[in-house]
Amino acid sequence: MRQAVKTFQKVMSQFPVNKSESEWKAILSPAQFAILREKATERPGTGPYLHTKDVGIYHCAGCDAPLYKSSTKFDSHCGWPSFYEALPDALKIYEDTSHGMVRTEMVCAKCGGHLGHIFKGEGYENPTDERHCVNSISLKFKKE
């Protein structure tokens, strides 16, 4: 796992918003740093945006880049906020082979902050049949 984090940190230097580890630690809470910079996951059912129904835009908690419209959020009962579609060019997608499985990881296209994973073909009734499973703590919400 430590090798995956080192590889992730090397990839981070390729994003438009590029800060050192100490700079990120100065602006993020310890929990945000663990998720956005070290690929941790918040406990299911604990995130502040899990049940948010307000109209607005979800932004990256690390760099404030807009990521999701609230109109693409849906209740998947998975324990994390779920969206079926990101804003254009908001995400970068990678194959994640950690934890003995293959998943689709999504990161913020501006700062490379780890957001969560994308799952396809689960049968949710939405236009893309995708579930973008996002850590609440990696987001900040701005009402419209």
**Residues annotated as part of the active site:** 133
The pLDDT value recorded for residue 12 is: 58
Beta strands in 1-144 (DSSP E): 56-60, 66-69, 73-74, 82-83, 91-96, 103-108, 114-120, 130-134, 139-143
Q: What is the pTM of this model?
A: 0.89
- Per the CB < 8 A criterion, the answer to whether 26 and 58 are in contact is no
Give the chain's domains with CATH numbers.
Answer: 2-41+53-143 (2.170.150.20)
For residue 82, what are its two tokens?
A: 């779920």
pLDDT tens digits for 33-57? 999 999 999 999 999 999 999 999 9
